[in-house]
Amino acid sequence: MLNPLILAKTMTSITIKQMPSFKRAYKKLHAHAKEKTNDAILTIMEDPTIGQEKKAELTGIFVHKFRIHHQEMLLAYEWDTEQIILLALGVHENFYRDLKKKTLHEPPRKPYF
The per-residue pLDDT for 18 is: 92
Backbone angles phi, psi at 65, to 5 degrees: -105, 140
Tell me the domain boundaries of the chain.
Answer: 4-105
The per-residue pLDDT for 9 is: 46
**pLDDT over threshold 70, residue 4:** no
**pLDDT over threshold 50, residue 29:** yes
Look at the chain and count its residues.
Answer: 113
Backbone angles phi, psi at 30, to 5 degrees: -75, 165
Q: Residue 108 — pLDDT band, cuts 50, 70, 90? A: low
Average confidence score pLDDT of the chain? 83
Q: Which fold has domain 4-105?
A: YaeB-like fold (3.30.2310)
CB 100 within 8 A of CB 58: yes
pTM for the structure as a whole: 0.77
